DNA sequence: GTCTATACGGTGATAGAC
DNA sequence: GTCTATCACCGTATAGAC
């Protein structure tokens, strides 16, 4: 913003320091947690001084918010798409697959960050982190399409939507490839939606 | 330890303050996170002074470790049980159900705590938190029984084991009953193990 | 833009009186 | 057992020189 980027220059000390800072922050927040990461940690990895971060961000929380603004509006898009579809139970599988498959390998970063910082969403001011609410809205919209709308089935549907999260967590401390994670999540989502749409379920005893 | 409990006395200020402290700590750690909870927070709720906590615990981390010692050895037991069973693919469903069903409603506290503090396990000294390792061992033992031991199937099996965790997370910010959560987790576990044991899977395109 | 220096508060922890 | 007082430390954040 302050200086036009030098064309073709590979200078790393340019105006993209902010971008690098966000990348570093995302990684450290994921590895050590938001609270467990100090501004000094971030600054040190950037090779700059702690105070210099305040030139790019208003404070630590501002970094966090920037991280959320950075990401796409997948949940919002999905909600909009779902709402303009005809009401049909078949929509359940399609919508859930759409969601899970939207997580390309590079987007798994976000999931991992959330897995490491589950409480951050609540601590964030008002609507800074819309993901939670939006995904909730999607879940509600889809739940209305369930043949049997029991609590248990509603929960199973939610679990289907959150299959990527579950897959990522199940793969923690493992050397499994990201492609495998996404594939397993997709299969899991299919299965969970399927049993959620089975008409009144039989409780085995 | 220091004073014999007064028979029939309902005094709350007795030697059970330690127990109350652990309960309060578990709740606050779950709500606000371990790092987000100060000793003052805990002491205030107990109606005692911050420093008084040091009479019962060596420090903050000691409280955390006591919390882990408090819980049962379910994972250890399951591992022992699995290892002395005959090698049979049918064991997969039985073992996973055993695990999921072992989570009575009151034991969900532990899952919720872990869900709120995912990084605590790694930060804990050496083998204080054996749960992670033990459950990993169970997963490995069961994985050897898979007909098709592909990465994807192994991961699906792990997801089956972690169905309670997934169910709890999917139910966050929801008024769903604990019974519903456990029931949904059980159904999810069945389904995930089932698709993990399906012989070479077909990837739809 | 990046630095040094510093203010300020909260936190875990200890010492010691009662 | 519980308290008050105090400690060192580390965190975020600000002021201001260069």
Mean pLDDT, range B148-169, rounded to an integer = 98
Inform me whether the C-beta atom of residue A100 falls under 8 Å from chain B C-beta atoms: no
Q: SS in 3 state form for chain B?
A: CCCCCCCCCCCCCCCCHHHHHHHHHHHHHHHHCCCCCCHHHHHHHHCCCHHHHHHHCCCHHHHHHHHHHHCCCHHHHHHHHHHCCCCCCHHHHHHHHHHHHCCCHHHHHHHHHHHHCCCHHHHCCCCCCCHHHHHHHHHHHHHCCCCCCCHHHHHHHHHHHCHHHHHHHHCCCCCCCHHHHHHHHHHHHHHHHHHHHCCCCCCCC
Of A6-15, A139-148, B179-188, the poorest mean pLDDT is in: A6-15
Q: Is the pTM of this model over 0.85?
A: yes
Establish if A181 touches chain B: CB-CB under 8 angstroms: yes
User: Is it the case that residue A205 has pLDDT exceeding 60?
Assistant: no
What is the reported pLDDT for A67?
Answer: 97
CA distance B116 to A101: 26
Pairwise CB contact (< 8 Å): B171 & A158: yes
Closest CB to B119: pick one of A36, A162, A171: A36
Contact predicate A176/B155, CB 8 Å: yes
Q: Would an 8 Å CB–CB cutoff place A146 in contact with chain B? A: no
Would you state the pLDDT for residue A10?
47
Between chain A and chain B, the number of residue pairs with CB atoms below 8 A apart is 112
State pLDDT tens for residues A126-149: 778 888 899 999 999 999 999 999
More confident residue, B55 or A7: B55
A15 closest-nt by C1' vs CA = C1
CA A60 to C1' C7, whole Å: 18
Q: What is the pLDDT of residue B127?
A: 78
Q: How confident is the model over B43-62, as pLDDT tens digits?
A: 999 999 999 999 999 999 99
């Amino acid at each position: 913003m302050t200086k036009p980027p030098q064309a073709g220059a590979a200078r790393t000390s340019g105006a993209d320091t902010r971008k690098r800072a966000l990348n570093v922050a995302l990684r450290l927040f994921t590895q050590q947690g938001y609270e467990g990461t100090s501004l000094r940690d971030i600054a040190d990895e950037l090779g700059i001084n702690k105070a210099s971060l305040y030139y790019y961000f208003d404070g630590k929380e501002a970094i966090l918010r920037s991280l959320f603004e950075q990401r796409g509006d997948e949940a919002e898009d999905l909600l909009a798409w779902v709402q303009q579809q005809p009401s049909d139970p078949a929509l359940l599988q399609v919508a859930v697959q759409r969601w899970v498959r939207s997580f390309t390998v590079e987007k798994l970063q976000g999931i991992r960050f959330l897995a490491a910082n589950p409480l951050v969403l609540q601590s964030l001011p008002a609507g800074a982190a819309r993901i939670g609410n939006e995904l909730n809205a999607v879940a509600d919209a889809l739940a209305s399409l369930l043949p049997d709308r029991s609590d248990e089935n509603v929960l199973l549907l939610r679990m289907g939507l959150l299959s990527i999260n579950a897959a990522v967590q199940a793969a923690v401390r493992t050397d499994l490839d990201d492609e495998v994670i996404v594939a397993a999540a997709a299969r899991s989502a299919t299965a969970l939606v399927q049993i959620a749409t089975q008409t009144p379920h039989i409780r085995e005893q």
